[in-house]
Every structure is written in C-alpha cells, then in structure tokens.
Amino acid sequence: MLEILLQASFWFLLALISTIIATKLRLATALTEIAVGAIASLAITGTGISIGENDLWIKFIASVGAIMLTFLAGAELEPDVLKSRWKETMGIGLIAFIAPFLGCTAVAHYILGWSAKASWLTGVALSTTSVAVVYAVMLELGLNKTEFGKVILAACFVNDLGTVIALGLIFSPFTTNSLIFMVVMIVVAILVPFITPKIFKKFGNKPSEFETKYLLFILFGIGALALWSGSEAVLPAYIIGMVLAGTVGKDSQLIRRLRTLTIGFLTPIYFLRAGYFVSIPSIIAAPIALLVLLSGKMITKIAGVYPVTKLFEFRHKEGMYTTLLMSTGLTFGSISALFGLTHGIIDQNQYSLLIAAVIGSAVIPTIIANAFYLPKYLLPKTKKEG
C-alpha cells in the first residue's frame, strides 16, 4: 500500500503541475496533462524509477476516466438543437468525420507507407473533433448560448459518434458475442431513458449519491459486456450518455458532481498515462511524418467542412470558424491512438506521431480560428452570460 500511495502522489503531482501550466497558458488541461506525461516519461526512462504505468490499478483508473469522459460528452448533448437544426448538424458533423477519415487513411498508407490496419486506425484517430476544446472556447466567449455555437457543438457530437462507430466496426470482430452485445445495447438504450427519471425521482437527491452509483453500475456493466464481445468499453458509454441527455444532462448539479469525479480524479491519470507512452525521441526523429499527419487532417477537414457551411449559407467568417473548430482533436483522438497501441495495431513510434498530431490539432486550428475568423458580430453583448 505504501508503494501505491507514493506512486499515486507522484501522478497527482504531475496533475497539479499540468493544471498550473494550463491555467497560466490558458490551454485545455487535458492537453498539458498529455505533454507533462510525455516529459515525465523522458525524464524517468533509464533511471530505474517505476511509477506503475502498467499496474492494474493505474489501468483501471485510466479506463474508468475514459468511460466517464465519453459518457459526459454524450450526456451534455442538447436534443432540441439536433431537432431544430438537424440538417446543418448532420451535414457538418458527417463530412467532418468522413473527409479526414478517408483522407488521413490514404495519407498514412500511400505517403507514410504504414500497414492497412495502422492506416485505418490513423484515419479514425484523426477524424475526430475535440468536444473538450470546442466547448471550452464556446463557454469562454459565450457562443454556447447562441444558435451558431449550439450547431457547432451538436456537429461535434455527430462527428465523434462517427469515429466511435468506425472504431468499433473496423477493429472489433463480429461474432455471436457481438450480436448479443448489440441486442442488449439496443434494449438498454430504449429502456434506460424511461426508467432512469423514475428511479432518480424515488431514490435520488440524497447524500448517499444514488445517481452516481446507478450510472456507474450501468456503465461498468455495459462496458464489461462490450469487452466480452471484443469491443471497447468507451463505445457504449457515449451511446448511454446520449440517450440520458434529457435526464442527466439537464441536471446541472449532477453534471457538476460527475465532472468533479471525472476531471478531478479519473481523467488526469488517463491523459498523463497517454502522454507517458509518447516517445519524444521518436517524434524528433520523424518531424516530416508528423507534419504529413497534421497537414493531412487539417487539409481534409477544410476541404470537406467549409463547402458544406457555404451550402447552408454560413458567412465566410462563420464558415471558416466552424471549419477550424471542427479541425480540433484531443480526447477521442488520443483514445483511438491508445486503443491502437494497446491492441498491437500500431507501434510506439506510430503512436507517438499520432498523439503529437492530435495535440497539434488541438492547438493550431483553435489559435487561427480565434485570431482571424472569430465572428464577433455573433458574440452575446454580455460575456458574463456564458
């Protein structure tokens, strides 16, 4: 127990450092956690010091962090926006997934010479849009309260849903277990939205935190079934989050408590561990490959998304701002890359390049968007409303 506590204190020292850096530089904390994890790995490698990055308890906390973060992303979906602006949401979200998915797969295979499976994994990892980054930007500017901002956020969910489905369909073999999982998943997705409000009303709103235990039970149970079927536990978590958006997503106090648990305890381990597996020497040794991957993502996103925004009569600045924010990536990109590494689809060098490209896509498009294409005429008059 002494060794575990010492290791845990070290992980959260890194988490604290990451948070301080993120606050000073006004970056997403997940971004700095990945970077600090990579630097810590570089500093520790060869010293004989172990921080238990492959210990079972670290793997469990990291896995639960990914599950909860994915669930929250789905739970904060606004169903009303999907209904009223479904054409823009679906159009932008789908092309934002399809264009980089196919384009980056081709880039990895034909330009970098990666294997077919590694190339498909690359297409999946670079097809994502970072809900965390986009949501943080929207919140800061107050655009999350506007129709424009809500369409972008909803399109992010459509984009990432495409990524989640592609990851499951391509890399999970379809067996009898898969069929059983799909049937159970459909039944759960239909029943949970009706059962949950009634159960919460009867047992919720008490210090015993019934709601959190109930959600963890469902997520762990369906996650275990997904693993048994050969799939990934984060995939059903996103679906469960979406179907519970009308119940969990509208309970601001519950969302706040779940965020505290997830972002305060679980996800730092997940992102730091993801960064820990990044080999900085591998990135330095192959800067051209990194540039090819990052350029591939941004070019295919711009080529796909911008024409669609014009189709829906977005002004130039609105179209470019939407396109650049849809070019960001972080959470699902790193989840997909780590999935590829842990399942032997890509090696550590390829993983390091992918993570570096994902981190770059979280920063560069956001900076360009806010510096040159922010549609200021859409900003609410009072930022405090955001």
- Going 340 to 344 to 345 to 350, the CA torsion angle's sign is positive
Question: For 171-199, what is each residue's pLDDT tens digit?
Answer: 766 678 888 988 998 999 899 888 988 88
- The pLDDT value given to residue 301: 93
Average pLDDT, the chain: 83
The larger pLDDT score, comparing residue 267 to residue 283, is at 267
With a cut of 70, say whether residue 337 has pLDDT above it: yes
Mean pLDDT to the nearest integer, 215-243: 84
DSSP 3-state assignment of 364?
A: helix
* Orientation angle between helical segments 287-311 and 86-106, nearest 10 degrees: 150
Question: For 84-108, what is each residue's pLDDT tens digit?
Answer: 778 888 999 999 999 999 999 999 9
Q: What ranges do the domains of the chain cover?
A: 79-174+251-376
What gap in Å lies between CA 13 and CA 361, rounded to an integer?
27
The larger pLDDT score, comparing residue 132 to residue 155, is at 155
Mean pLDDT to the nearest integer, 47-72: 82
What gap in Å lies between CA 151 and CA 300, rounded to an integer?
21
- The pLDDT value given to residue 139: 67
Q: Which of 48-57, 234-243, 339-348 has the highest mean pLDDT?
A: 339-348
What gap in Å lies between CA 231 and CA 227, rounded to an integer?
5
- Of the pLDDT bands very low, low, confident and very high (cuts 50, 70, 90), residue 367 is confident
What gap in Å lies between CA 282 and CA 269, rounded to an integer?
23
Query: pLDDT over 90 for what percent of the chain?
Result: 21
- Of the pLDDT bands very low, low, confident and very high (cuts 50, 70, 90), residue 384 is very low
Q: Is 375 left (phi over 0), alpha (psi -120 to 50) or beta?
A: beta
Where does 79-174+251-376 sit in CATH, by number? Answer: 1.20.1530.20
- The pLDDT value given to residue 382: 59
The larger pLDDT score, comparing residue 281 to residue 321, is at 321
